[in-house]
Copies of this chain bind each other. A is one copy, B any other.
Amino acid sequence: MSDPANGSPPEFQKAATIYDVAERASVSIKTVSKVVNNLPEVSRATRLRVLTAIEELSYRPNQLARGLASQRSFMIGLFCDAPAAGSGYIARIQMAILTMCQKEGYHLIVECIHATNQNIAQQVHALVAQSKLAGVVLTPPLSDLPALVEALKATNTPIVRFSPETSQTDVIDVDIDNCQAAYDITKYLIGLGHQRIGFIRGPLDHADARARLEGYKKALEEAGIASRDDYCQPGNYTYKSGMQAGEKLLTLKDRPTAIFASNDDMASGVMASSLRYNLRIPQDLSVAGFDDAIFAYAMYPRLTTCRQPIGEMAEAAVSTLIHHGDKPVGLLRLPHKIIVRGSTARPSPAAT
Chain A residues proximal to chain B, CB less than 8 Å: 15, 58, 60-65, 67-68, 73, 75, 82-88, 91-92, 94-95, 98-99, 102, 107-112, 122, 125-126, 129-132, 239, 243, 265, 268-269, 271-273, 275, 294-295, 297-301
Contact = CB atoms under 8 A, between A and B. Distances in A.
Given A268-B299, A272-B299, 10 more contacts: A62-B130, A64-B68, A83-B91, A88-B91, A98-B110, A98-B111, A102-B111, A107-B109, A108-B110, A265-B298
A58 B125 contact: yes
A235 B83 CA distance: 30
B91 A132 contact: no
Quickly give the copy total for this chain.
2
Contacts of A99: 112
Contacts of A299: 268, 272, 295, 299
Contacts of A111: 98, 102, 107-108
Contacts of A62: 68, 129-130, 132
A111 B145 CA distance: 27
Contacts of A273: 300
A99 to B, nearest CB: 7
Contacts of A269: 298, 300
B300 A272 contact: yes
A170 to B, nearest CB: 12
B60 A239 contact: no
A212 B275 CA distance: 32
B68 A95 contact: no
A61 B127 CA distance: 10
Contacts of A300: 243, 268-269, 271-273, 275
Contacts of A109: 75, 107-110
A129 B15 contact: yes
